[in-house]
Amino acid sequence: MEFLVRAENRLPADTADDVRARLKTGERARADELRAAGVLKRLWRVPGRNATIGLYETTDATTLHDALASLPMFPWMDITVEAVATHPQER
Amino acid sequence: MEFLVRAENRLPADTADDVRARLKTGERARADELRAAGVLKRLWRVPGRNATIGLYETTDATTLHDALASLPMFPWMDITVEAVATHPQER
Amino acid sequence: MEFLVRAENRLPADTADDVRARLKTGERARADELRAAGVLKRLWRVPGRNATIGLYETTDATTLHDALASLPMFPWMDITVEAVATHPQER
Amino acid sequence: MEFLVRAENRLPADTADDVRARLKTGERARADELRAAGVLKRLWRVPGRNATIGLYETTDATTLHDALASLPMFPWMDITVEAVATHPQER
Amino acid sequence: MEFLVRAENRLPADTADDVRARLKTGERARADELRAAGVLKRLWRVPGRNATIGLYETTDATTLHDALASLPMFPWMDITVEAVATHPQER
Amino acid sequence: MEFLVRAENRLPADTADDVRARLKTGERARADELRAAGVLKRLWRVPGRNATIGLYETTDATTLHDALASLPMFPWMDITVEAVATHPQER
Amino acid sequence: MEFLVRAENRLPADTADDVRARLKTGERARADELRAAGVLKRLWRVPGRNATIGLYETTDATTLHDALASLPMFPWMDITVEAVATHPQER
Amino acid sequence: MEFLVRAENRLPADTADDVRARLKTGERARADELRAAGVLKRLWRVPGRNATIGLYETTDATTLHDALASLPMFPWMDITVEAVATHPQER
Amino acid sequence: MEFLVRAENRLPADTADDVRARLKTGERARADELRAAGVLKRLWRVPGRNATIGLYETTDATTLHDALASLPMFPWMDITVEAVATHPQER
Amino acid sequence: MEFLVRAENRLPADTADDVRARLKTGERARADELRAAGVLKRLWRVPGRNATIGLYETTDATTLHDALASLPMFPWMDITVEAVATHPQER
């Protein structure tokens, strides 16, 4: 099933550049894996914010949580999940 | 997977008694079916309100929507759904 | 550009069945046209609600408004629009 | 009576690993005791968050508070409690 | 245990005077019974509103709901309940 | 007149034990004085939180502020005050 | 003591002109009396709204409620009251 | 000074077409007058809504209120006003 | 024109006493000047909070901002401004 | 298309003066470039706050995000973006 996932990145503004760079690289690599696995289907930037909206597809909320928690930035992210149903027009 | 479902019943206070009674009977009957099918696992009353919190288990959000929409009171209910994941302590 | 569009349908619960049916048929037909035109890219059902989340792509907010206002249900819909930017991972 | 208890864990992201590990082990042990005592009946993970929703059963709100305050993570938890009533369908 | 109960009275402004009067008399009579039974311990008026805050004492949320639902104005009241615990200073 | 006073205690979780203990003892002592003076009439614990709801009686909001500001924990408390009126049933 | 009182007027837009005029005249007359009595000290219009903010002075919240409830528009007004204290700079 | 004015049009969806047309024509005519007078400087459509955001310039909030109340749709509009200051970059 | 100005003082609780004292003295002195200039007309304490509500009169929002920014506590204040219009009863 | 952009500046109150000055100078310079490029069309100060509302014009939300992220203060700004459509009166 699909989920819309809003993630605000709360990494402090004064984080050292190398820490930030390493986290960002790891984040990108893990996101690529989730895309390859069909878990992360789309990702948008919320304009003006260090935040994203993602469209995920997993078997259930437990698998979704494991996918999100596997992202290196997870400890600094404020995430809200919305389960969405298939619309009759797309069945 | 499991969902916590909060439902506020907005049936107008001036609804005719027989209409209300028929809806209530139908609601109970359909809820019994959903319980028998393992879809509705628990149901609580929100004290002081014509509202409930239910614990549902379905394969996904689409099946959940179909279950909720099958309740006779559905057109008057203001429903919010929260997908919940299994906690590691209960795996 | 893309927009996430949340639409709550406020059509009164006591609307006559034929009115509701006609509106629903017209809504479906217009949505199909918007899909064919590449304007409506995805549509989800918010579980438990007479509400949808749509992914639209138009040149700007003015064109988006015209597309939304062309839906027969528009006068009864409570719509909120969120402009989303392309994420660097998808550029 | 039963309570639904939402707990956001605000332990800072930069907490030392051993402190975090010790707190987590203690949390698990105390939760097991509360389960054995019939106080903690279910526990869900809020997907994407370091947060849980628990179903507790105690004699009253005072006993509930004592149970929650006995958890090692309590000083870092932002908790909201909702008292729920038995629904007529389950009496 | 004790509960703080906030009740907004949504009886329409254009309700006929005799209906309103009858409801008010019945409300007063039932409230007196709840006071005599030790269920309703205090009742405040929210200044400027047709609303009250009550301090109730019942064995649990289910009994509280039954008490509130026994008030003649109940179908028009928008009620929120907050379970409160005994403070150590008053044990 | 009476006031309902909600107080969230924001004392940081990492406050030294002796500082916390001294503040708590002083808080209790000052609260006892306010009770003896008829200013603090009831105090409840909000279950699951380091927070209280108090029923105060003072001549006006200025005197109430002075009473609250005299509590040693005041600098760390996030307080909201609600003025309540006597209900006709209790006049 | 003083109170800041925000009042939204919810009189329906389709109220008959003569009803509206009579209510308005009565409102003005009663407000003049409250001014003469020193109860209503200032009254502002919230720009763009059929709403006001008033500065009232009464002995307590009960007297304030009686003053507000004496206004002919009271049944249609959505009022919120904020008790304010004298600032040390004005003592 | 300038004001940002958000206006939601709450004219009921079932308003007769001729009433709606007459109001709309009057609204446009009055808006044109306010533009000519330099009072209404810009007007945006909120996409997906029967709502606008306007940039107004008047001497003060009282004059602004009079301008807004002169619009034929005013009785059905839910308006919020935000006073904005000149930014140093534009002085 | 007049403005109602709500100011929450966020000066940290652990600010050194002499810093706090100096800021407070400066704040009082500047407020006295604003009063003498007819800019600050009234000031209330929000009971239970390190917060105030002020009634200011300036020519416009830009002048108001300059007045508020001239207060020594300004960098620690969380301020919201509401423009108010003269009510017909006071014209 | 146009966007209304609200930006709260969260630069800590205890930031060193030279850091603040350098950021401010850079902010001004970059804002001037965005004005010259026709991207930043208007900028208002929110009275009483270290916050602004800007009117931007870019081809889409992605370009807008790049413009906002190019401002030196971006890491400390809490920004919300609202896409606005052209109103029929201005087409």
G 57-86 residues inside an 8 A Cβ radius of F: 59-62, 64-65, 81, 83-86
Q: pLDDT above 70 covers what percent of chain C?
A: 100
Domain boundaries, chain A: 2-90
- For residue F15, which residues of chain D lie inside 8 Å, CB to CB? none
Nearest-neighbour CA in chain H from C90: distance (Å): 26
Q: If pLDDT is split at 50, 70 and 90, which confidence band does D73 have?
A: very high
Instruction: Give me the pLDDT at residue B13, please.
Output: 87
Q: What does the pLDDT look like over F27-72, one tens digit per residue?
A: 999 999 999 999 999 999 999 999 999 999 999 999 999 999 999 9
Residue in D13, D45, D49 closest to A79 by CB:
D49
Instruction: Give me the pLDDT at residue B15, please.
Output: 94
Q: Which of D89, D90, D91 to mutate to test the interface with B (most CBs of B within 10 A)?
A: D89
CATH H superfamily, domain G2-90? Dimeric alpha+beta barrel (3.30.70.1060)
Q: Which chains share 3+ C-beta pairs under 8 angstroms with F?
A: D, E, G, I
Q: pLDDT above 70 covers what percent of chain H?
A: 100
Tell me which residue of E73, E22, E21 sits closest to E52, measured CA to CA: E73
Residue J24: what residue type? K
Tell me which residue of A20, A40, A21 sits closest to A32, measured CA to CA: A40
Residue E27: what residue type? E
Residues with Cβ within 8 Å of residue J56, at least 6 apart in sequence = J2, J3, J4, J5, J34, J39, J40, J41, J64, J67
- Cα H84 to Cα A48, I80, J6, J44, J48: the distances in Å are 21, 12, 12, 6, 10
In angstroms, the CA B17 to CA E71 distance is 18
| Closest residue of chain E to G69, computed from CA coordinates | E48
| Closest residue of chain A to C46, computed from CA coordinates | A84
Q: Give the DSSP letter string of F5-65.
A: EEEEE---TT--HHHHHHHHHHHHHHHHHHHHTTSEEEEEEPTTSSEEEEEEE-SSHHHHH
- Phi and psi dihedrals of J13, rounded to 5? -60, -25
| Residue pair B31/D89 in contact by the 8 Å Cβ criterion | yes
Instruction: Give me the pLDDT at residue B78, please.
Output: 98
| Residue pair G66/G75 in contact by the 8 Å Cβ criterion | no
Instruction: Give me the pLDDT at residue I48, please.
Output: 98
Q: If pLDDT is split at 50, 70 and 90, which confidence band does J13 have?
A: confident
| Closest residue of chain I to G32, computed from CA coordinates | I89
Instruction: Give me the pLDDT at residue G79, please.
Output: 98
ipTM, 2 dp: 0.96
* Mean pLDDT of chain J, nearest integer: 97
Q: If pLDDT is split at 50, 70 and 90, which confidence band does G91 have?
A: confident
Direct distance between the N- and C-terminal alpha carbons of chain A, in angstroms, rounded to an integer: 13
- Phi and psi dihedrals of H59, rounded to 5? -70, -30
Which residue positions in chain A have pLDDT lower than 70? none
Instruction: Give me the pLDDT at residue C24, please.
Output: 96
Q: Is the pLDDT of residue E91 over 90?
A: no
Q: pLDDT above 70 covers what percent of chain I?
A: 100
Fold of C2-86: Alpha-Beta Plaits (3.30.70)
Decide: helix, strand or coil at residue G40: strand
Q: What is the mean pLDDT of residues J69-75?
A: 97
Instruction: Inspect the interface and report whether the beta carbons of C81 and H47 lie closer than 8 Å.
Output: yes
Instruction: Give me the pLDDT at residue H19, please.
Output: 95
* Mean pLDDT of chain I, nearest integer: 97
Q: Which of G4, G45, G82, G91 to mutate to test the interface with I (most CBs of I within 10 A)?
A: G45
Q: What does the pLDDT look like over E55-89, one tens digit per residue?
A: 999 999 999 999 999 999 999 999 999 999 999 99
Q: Say if residue C47 is exposed, middle or buried (CB neighbours under 10 Å; 0-12, 13-18, 19+).
A: buried
Q: If pLDDT is split at 50, 70 and 90, which confidence band does J1 have?
A: very high
Residue in F31, F85, F89 closest to E47 by CB:
F85
Q: Is the pLDDT of residue G13 over 90?
A: no
| Closest residue of chain G to H12, computed from CA coordinates | G13
| Residue pair D51/D6 in contact by the 8 Å Cβ criterion | yes
In angstroms, the CA I25 to CA E63 distance is 56
| Residue pair J57/J81 in contact by the 8 Å Cβ criterion | no
Q: Is the pLDDT of residue C46 over 90?
A: yes
Q: What does the pLDDT look like over H39-79, one tens digit per residue?
A: 999 999 999 999 999 999 999 999 999 999 999 999 999 99
Contact with chain I for residue F38, Cβ under 8 A: no
Contact with chain G for residue I47, Cβ under 8 A: yes
Which residue positions in chain B have pLDDT lower than 70? none
Q: What does the pLDDT look like over D23-52, one tens digit per residue?
A: 999 999 999 999 999 999 999 999 999 999
Instruction: Give me the pLDDT at residue A2, please.
Output: 98
- For residue A48, which residues of chain J lie inside 8 Å, CB to CB? 5, 7, 64-65, 68, 77, 79-81
Q: Return the structure tokens found at A28.
A: 């990108």
Q: Is the pLDDT of residue H18 over 90?
A: yes
